[in-house]
Amino acid sequence: MSPVVIAVVGVAVLLVLLALVVVSRYKVAGPSEAFIVTGRRGKQATDPATGRVFTDNSGQKVVVGGGVFVVPFVQQRFTLDLSSRHIPVAVRGAVTLRGVKAHLEGVAIVKVGGTEDSIRAAAQRFLMQQDGIVGFTQEVLSGALRAIVGRMSVEDIIRDRAVFAGQVAEEAEASLSGQGLVLDAFQIQDITTEGSYLEDLGRPEAARAKQEADIAEAEARRAAEQARLKAEEEIAVAQRTFALRQAEIKAETDAAAAQANAAGPLAEAARQQDILTQQEKVAERQAALKDRQLDTEVRKPADAQRYAAEQEAEARRVARVKQAEAERLAGIAAAQAEAERSRLTGEGEKQRRSALAEAEAIEGLKQGEAERARRAAIAEAVRLEGEAEAAAIGAKGTAEAQAMRQKADAFGQYGDAAVLQMLVEVLPQVVAKASEPLAAVDKMTVISTDGAGRIPRAVADNVTQGIELLGSTTGIDLAELLKGITRRDAAAEKVEITG
């Protein structure tokens, strides 16, 4: 191997070793670590305020969150933990403002300050014994707790723990910051006293709280009971509504079934009713036609004959009267002539009077005959009119009798259900007519030993009388008809059972 190659290899090895040394001596601080690099000597300095001479160690390098190269054999690196520490603090027998001994337990969160001065101060005190931070913090906080507890009562501490903890932290802050420490938080976890002071102190509140709890529990039970009763009521109402609806549906179903069962007889009855109505209309039209025929063929000719007879009788009477008047005038004239002749002959006056009396007798006889003729003509006309009226009534009665026979035949073909249906439809009208006298009464005073109960009995009597009137006018005994239907139904059921 040539000397040149050996030299190159040696340089390369040297460079590699140098790089390894550099890499091994370069350190990077963690997130919760602080490097303190020492090796530089401190400088003497004088405090301008007090004039005191001290050693300035600011030359110590503090590295937080970065890297640093530690020169071998010249500098030395130390690591200070910056993470927070949960430190329990307990004080027993601390005397409060009113002389009550209290036992307090709390917890503090302490860490090393983030500034270089705090890190340097903490490093100077706790770098080689970092566990001492816990004991130092407990001593400082215990002293602050005792000092603050002595200025407060147990009630104040319990009532406002945050203020109490804040005062303790403020009391201990100066001591901790002087050592490079920072108190992040301090909380009082438990407070107890010697004896039963706290129990006695809280007994009224406990009793009031228990009373309020009992009242709240009773209110809750009452509300729950009311809710349960309301729910049961709603369920009962819903059940009642359901039952009523079921009853309505059943009634509607039964009515529909009954209507369907009676649809046939009712339809037949309606058809027969329509037939009767049409027959009645035909009979009425026939009666009207017959009446018009009677008017044309009987009444009007009779009226014409009567009028002609009256006119003829009147003409004869007038003619007779005129004839009698003429004869009377002629008699008078003859008598006057005869009287003149008698006066002239000496017996005129006697003959004149005799002639006048004879003329008047003749005139009265003729007037009586004329009156008799006129009355005979009127009687004849009345007879003819009566015969015409009798013929018209006879024709109308014949038509009505025929209509009634047809109606009776139709009724005979009706079934019991149809007849009963028609009677039931007529019965409310009968009852309404029977109640009309009572409905027309505006104010009624009942003077009876039976009291107001007489009114419904009177209505019932009217209904009974209405049924009897219906039977007497139509010939249909409604009560007997119902009994007959009931007996036939019972007999039919008996036959079915025995069969």
pLDDT at 182: 92
> pTM for this one?
0.40
- The more confidently predicted of residues 195 and 233 is 233
Whether the predicted pLDDT of 403 surpasses 60: yes
What average pLDDT does the structure give for the chain?
80
Q: Establish how many alpha carbons lie within 13 A of residue 293's alpha carbon, considering only the half-sphere containing its beta carbon.
A: 11
Helix (H) or strand (E) holding 100, with range, is: none
| Integer angstrom CA distances of residue 88 from 91, 143, 354 | 10, 14, 182
Whether the predicted pLDDT of 315 surpasses 80: yes
423-451: average pLDDT: 63
Of 163, 151, 159, the closest CA to residue 191 belongs to 159
- The more confidently predicted of residues 369 and 475 is 369
Mean pLDDT highest for which of 28-42, 246-260, 459-473, 478-492? 246-260
Whether the predicted pLDDT of 238 surpasses 90: yes
Whether the predicted pLDDT of 421 surpasses 50: yes
- The more confidently predicted of residues 208 and 50 is 208
Mean pLDDT highest for which of 20-29, 181-190, 257-266, 349-358? 181-190
Going by pLDDT thresholds of 50, 70 and 90, the confidence category of residue 246 is very high
405-432: average pLDDT: 66
Query: Which two three-digit tokens encode residue 103?
Result: 């036992």
pLDDT at 499: 44
> Residue 359 burial by CB count (10 A; 0-12/13-18/19+): exposed, middle or buried?
buried
For every residue of 13-74, DSSP letters joined together read HHHHHHHHHHHHHEEE--TTEEEEEE-SPPEEEE-TTT--EEEE-TTSEEEESSEEEPPTTT
